[in-house]
Structure 1
Amino acid sequence: MLLTDSIQPVLRRRHPDGQYCIGQDSGIYWRQIQPPERGAEAPDWFYVANVPPDLDGVFRRSYVLWRELIRPFIILEFVSGDGREERDQTPWQGKFWIYEQVIRPAYYGIYEVMVPRVELYQWVGGQFQLLPANSRGHFEVTPLGVELGLWDERYQNVELPWLRWWDDEGNLLLTGEERAEQEHQRAEQERQRAEQERQRAERLAALLREQGIEFDDPWV
């Protein structure tokens, strides 16, 4: 996933012991009840700090908040309808209410693909406060040193206003594939620079030979 791939270097620096987990379309079980799904929400993306990435060597399929007791740092919901579900404040039923009053992540984001629009809330004093965009049109997640915003480009052959991360200086956080491509371009530029320098040296050597000056190393 684009969000996960690009933020991994940030999280690895933040957690050199590897103790964090990321959920993608997986459940957060916030209360112990039967059937279990009555006490769960399944955000599109979330990050929890200081928990193991797996349980007893098994990849996490969900996160049980009522057992592990560490709140997600950020939760992101991608709107598929009109956004009412993600903003529903009905006690014990609405997503917004459950996130704000029970799960209580430090940040809650709503991404409306078709509008397009991003809302980012910060949990302060017992409730969510809507954050303003900065001068770049991004929303700052200060503790991580990153910003969240829209990137209107092509990814995996689909052109959308993609939700992406930037650092706090406004540099786009690249995916592994993008980093590899960037490194390839740098290497190619260096190769071309070296080739141009070689050709320049050869032209200089030829000019000197025409003037009767001989030497062994054309780079001298």
Structure 2
Amino acid sequence: MLATTPTYQITWEKLPDDFVLPDDPVDNINQPTLAAALTESLQLAGKLPETALTTTNYGICATLNGKFVVKAPDWAYIPHITVKRSEVERSYTPRLQGEIPALVLEFLSETEGGEYSIKETYPPGKFFYYEQILQIPSYGIFDLETGTLELYCLGENKRYKLESANEEGRFWLPEMQLFLGVWQGKRDNRDGYWLRWWDLDENLLLWGTERVEQEQQRAERLAAQLRAAGIEPEE
């Protein structure tokens, strides 16, 4: 499968088995936790189809002018893959193995990661790669320390445009039919800013621990109502 532009040629090829993937350390200890939380709430809410794929620090590939390019966003959502999962254990090539990711997220850290790089020469910068090569509909950059989320969406001119959040500070993602926004609180012994999902009716997609707590509260209210009616609830 082939696509061309005036300045470079893009092909979609499977990464060779002997290709050495970068083994860079995670920039921040909190990044895997944030990524896991995003996936967990999608899965529990039934928003993660069997053919969908969420990835964390996982290579998304393209071939630019005959050279393989691999970028590993901190989190990505791929709506549909067309191959067996065993075929994408090491990396994923859009168009060849399934759809283009609907969303990629980068978590800022103290280490300069080039999240805003528009470098066109090989190897291309992340911003340029997501916008011009992969043409991912939505690209989010999240600052864990300040809780600032920037969301860039492809416009009609195939360029990223910085989106404005709604009154609640959330962004609507049409490809996922969900809102993405910032939430402050505690999970996994980390008290800080998190990225969370809300559905069309502005209902927060809960984590597993929140679901358990919600059920406990519901049971306690029911028990209190029964006692008020003179009925002792069964243990």
CA change 1:178–1:68 in 2 (3 A) is same
| Equivalent residue, structure 1, for 2:73 | 43
Equivalent residue in structure 2 for 1:86, among 103, 110, 115: 115
Opposite residue 50 of structure 1, the aligned amino acid is H
Opposite residue 196 of structure 2, the aligned amino acid is R
- The alpha-carbon deviation at position 48 of structure 1 amounts to 0.8
Equivalent residue in structure 1 for 2:165, among 100, 117, 133: 133
Deviations 1:65-91 (A, max 9, x none): 263252111111111137671111111
| Equivalent residue, structure 1, for 2:139 | 108
User: How many aligned residue pairs are there?
Assistant: 193
Whole-Å separation in 2 of the counterparts to 1:162 and 1:117: 10
Conserved? CA contact 2:80–2:98, under 8 Å: no
CA change 1:35–1:104 in 2 (3 A) is closer
Task: Find the residue that maps to 2:230 and give its secondary structure.
Answer: helix
Equivalent residue in structure 2 for 1:146, among 172, 178, 186: 178
Conserved? CA contact 1:108–1:122, under 8 Å: yes
Whole-Å separation in 1 of the counterparts to 2:227 and 2:143: 48
Opposite residue 40 of structure 2, the aligned amino acid is D
Residue ranges of structure 2 left out of the alignment (5+ in a row): 1-35
Residue ranges of structure 1 left out of the alignment (5+ in a row): 201-220
Give the 5 Å matches for 1:115-194: 115-125=146-156, 126-194=158-226
Conserved? CA contact 1:78–1:110, under 8 Å: yes
Conserved? CA contact 2:118–2:125, under 8 Å: yes
- The alpha-carbon deviation at position 145 of structure 1 amounts to 2.5
Q: Does 1:67 align with 2:96?
A: yes
Task: Find the residue that maps to 1:181 and give its secondary structure.
Answer: helix
CA change 1:83–1:163 in 2 (3 A) is farther
Task: Name whichever structure is richer in helix by fraction.
Answer: 1
TM-score of the superposed pair, with normalisation by structure 2: 0.73
Whole-Å separation in 2 of the counterparts to 1:29 and 1:187: 49
Q: Which one has a bigger Cα radius of gyration? A: 1
Opposite residue 152 of structure 2, the aligned amino acid is Y
Deviations 1:77-117 (A, max 9, x none): 11113767111111142110010000111111100112331
Conserved? CA contact 2:83–2:98, under 8 Å: no
CA change 1:5–1:54 in 2 (3 A) is farther
| Equivalent residue, structure 2, for 1:207 | none
Task: Find the residue that maps to 2:229 and give its secondary structure.
Answer: helix
Deviations 1:120-173 (A, max 9, x none): 111122111111010001111134231111111011111011111112332221
Whole-Å separation in 1 of the counterparts to 2:98 and 2:129: 15
- Ranked by relative contact order (alpha carbons within 8 Å, sequence separation 6 or more), the top structure is 2
Quick check: 69-78 or 59-68, which moved more? Answer: 59-68
CA change 1:33–1:184 in 2 (3 A) is farther
| Equivalent residue, structure 1, for 2:8 | none
Quick check: 2-11 or 40-49, which moved more? Answer: 2-11
TM-score of the superposed pair, with normalisation by structure 1: 0.78
